[in-house]
Amino acid sequence: MMLKPYRFGALLLTLLVLPVMPSVPAFAAPAARKGHTAAQISAFLSDFYGHRGPSAQDRETRISQILKERQQLSEEVDVLLCSHEEPQEISIGPVTVAKAASVGWATVTTHWVSGDTDTFTAYVRLDSDPIRLDDVICAG
């Protein structure tokens, strides 16, 4: 009597050693999207902050939930501007993008009537859709 090879076992073994091919669109989608560029983040921050600070509409629709909650807890300080008052002018520095960390940031400088300046760092997640301000870290 001749024994037949275990065809099912051989098929299973073949399937297990075949390379896995990401043919499902869900796997390909994140790789296709590279996130916001430095130029896009710079344009967003310039538009968001404008010359004197973000509008009420921008404060509602273009910031993260974390910043909204932080602002509710700090009513006496504007967490988006790191100040108690409205600046005379705002300028945005060069944007740095860290793709490995999925974040981009820039130094924001506020100019005051007294001639003084203050700085803080504004952060944007590269994968935010639509683009929004994710965090602000005050300098001092």
Is 104 domain-assigned? yes
**Please, what's the largest Cα pairwise distance for the chain?**
102
Is 44 domain-assigned? yes
Structural domain for 47, as ranges: 35-138
Which CATH number fits the domain that encloses residue 101?
3.10.450
pLDDT single digits (tens) 56-95: 999 999 999 999 999 999 989 999 999 999 999 999 999 9
The per-residue b/e assignment along 56-83, b for 16 or more CB within 10 angstroms, e otherwise, is eebbeebbbeebeebbeeeeeebbbbbb
Is 30 domain-assigned? no
Is 12 domain-assigned? no
Is 13 domain-assigned? no
Is 27 domain-assigned? no
Tell me how many domains the chain contains.
Answer: 1
Asked if pLDDT for residue 6 goes beyond 90, the answer is: no
Model's pTM, two decimal places?
A: 0.75
Is 65 domain-assigned? yes
